[in-house]
Amino acid sequence: VEDLRGLSIRLFLMSNTFYESAGQNWFTLDNVYIHYNWTHEATFNATDVYAPSTNSYHCQHVSSLQKYDTLLVPSANTDHAAHWHITFTDFQIQAFNVHSSKFVAASDCATFFTPAILMGLITSLILLLVLAYALHMVVHLKHIDRYEEHKTTVYFPRSTELLSHNSECLSFYISVIS
């Protein structure tokens, strides 16, 4: 698009559905419409854009690009949507229960189990297993006392014997030198 003045974003076909399992209404963003000079229209189907009706929805990137986890898929009905890529940065929307110009608490699109968190949990589990195995081996360590009975006695010479032996060595040394 060369001139953005002719670009019009008709946001959002939304729906509100009551889910008995959750016990509350949830809104979903179904479609995003983009018009350029009112001659070209592109329709994107929104996937996984939903939140409780009492909350707003927030996501860092709502995009048709794969690098941002494609949440906007070009509709099969239009030819123009396949040629366009759309990205909303720091996207937040509130469908219902709007009472002031501020958003209520947001339901964020970021998942709790990111790849980094999963790898940290797996590494911690492996380290815990190694530690448990090491503790198991230490607890079941047996003292080897059967070999203590068969030890030979060590002979320590008494000090008088040692002195007489040293004097003999000293006299031998003196006679060799002379």
User: What confidence tens digit (pLDDT) does each residue in 87-104 have?
Assistant: 888 888 887 778 787 888
- Say how many domains are in the chain: 1
Share of the chain above pLDDT 70, in %: 71
Cα 112 to Cα 115, 116, 117, 118, 123, distances in angstroms: 10, 10, 8, 9, 17
Domain assignment of residue 174, yes or no: no
Domain assignment of residue 97, yes or no: yes
Does residue 15 carry a pLDDT above 70?
Answer: yes
Domain assignment of residue 56, yes or no: yes
Q: What pLDDT does 104 receive? A: 85
What backbone phi and psi angles, to 5 degrees, belong to 119? -65, -35
* Structural domain span for residue 48: 4-110
CB 31 within 8 A of CB 44: yes
Rg (CA), the chain: 41
CA distance linking residue 12 with residue 50, whole number of Å: 12
Domain assignment of residue 44, yes or no: yes
CB 84 within 8 A of CB 51: no
Higher-scoring residue by pLDDT: 116, 39: 116
pTM, entire model: 0.56
Domain assignment of residue 91, yes or no: yes
